[in-house]
Amino acid sequence: MAALGELRRRGSHQKRKPSARRLRAPLAALAAIAAIVYVAKRPAPSSPFHRPRTDEEKAQERKKLARHPLFAFKRRTELWERWPDGTLGMVVSAYRDDLAWLRNVEAIGIRTHVYGRPGAEAPNANDQLPVNRGDEAAAYFRYLVDHYDDLPEYVMFVHGHEYAYHAPTSMATTCRLDVPAAVEAMGGFASLNHDKRGRTVRKYADRLMPAPWSPAFLARALAELYGTAEQPPVSTPTKLAFPASAQFAASRNAIRTRPRAFYARAYNLSTAATPETCRGRTCGGYFFEQQYHYIFGRAWDFDDGVRVDYARWKVRIES
């Protein structure tokens, strides 16, 4: 009995180790709190899609692209030195862009028409739009209204930037390709945007943009624009292609398949204030981006018919 009492007395002075089950819950909670704090304080990942690229990065990208076999022009016969007067014109929708590259365009016989807008900082613009709405659509349709009777044979409709993620080739170089041949091969309309493999940039949709517009508002806009002419479908059973990013070329004949009054209505619609917005802006630009090819005579499905990607534009068709 004495020995048993001694063992009990000694055991009461020993420290007991906490069980693993008791430690598991608080450690898990501490780990969760540490993870939350780490994620909150960690800087956002540096992604080229969420930040503007530096001039050095752009220069490196252009240098790399120039070595690509699709865009390396080694034979002088692939490029036009100068276009005959009245062949090509260019409409430029400028918004805080460096327009110095247009000097190279004008040097090869292409007349440019630059449209600025309030707050756009385009001091060299030929014309200033009265409001900053409609993105490039306002500039494009204003030009067609003003110059409907004196159009060149082919018109290029472009943004003010020389390069873009959707047009990595210099637009001044694109001007020297056989644009008329490409336009005619594609039924009077050709997209000027391409990816780094030379494929024409496309998007696919089964509903007419812009998404924020209600069906009733969209129906009113289509009725106002097309009148008694055939309208594009508001929706389709499957997703169909359309050329993305709104840079393209069209022939004079394709443009004049619609009357001047159509382009006047399009200009008014593009600059109108609308209750719904797209990325903080009026939705006119998005509304027309999906329709340019249809307006100038192509089928609603852009992939329906002749398909000539940008990479094939290098081949000049000699007369």
- pLDDT higher than threshold 70 for residue 37: no
319: in domain: no
Stretch (H or E) spanning 237:
strand 235-243
- Find the largest Cα–Cα distance for the chain: 121
293: in domain: yes
181: in domain: yes
287: in domain: yes
For residue 48, name the pLDDT band (cuts at 50, 70, 90). very low
Number of structural domains (the chain) is 1
- pLDDT higher than threshold 70 for residue 61: no
Residue-by-residue DSSP string for 234-279: SEEEEEEEEE-SS-EEEEHHHHTTS-HHHHHHHHHHHHS--SSEET
Query: Distance between CA atoms of 234 and 219, rounded to whole angstroms?
Result: 8
52: in domain: no
**Which is higher by pLDDT, 74 or 49?**
74
- pLDDT higher than threshold 70 for residue 292: yes
24: in domain: no
11: in domain: no
For residue range 5-22, list pLDDT tens digits in order. 554 555 555 555 555 555
For residue range 109-128, list pLDDT tens digits in order. 999 999 988 776 666 677 88
For residue range 171-208, list pLDDT tens digits in order. 988 888 889 988 998 899 999 998 877 888 899 999 88
**Amino acid identity, residue 255?**
I
Q: How much is the average pLDDT of 301-308?
A: 82
185: in domain: yes
**23 burial level (CB within 10 Å; 0-12, 13-18, 19+):** exposed
For residue 266, name the pLDDT band (cuts at 50, 70, 90). very high
Q: Which residue range(s) make up the domain with 241?
A: 84-314
Instruction: Find residue 215's DSSP bridge partners.
Output: none
Helix boundaries (H) for 168-259: 171-174, 179-185, 215-226, 252-255
CB neighbours of residue 4 within 10 Å: 8
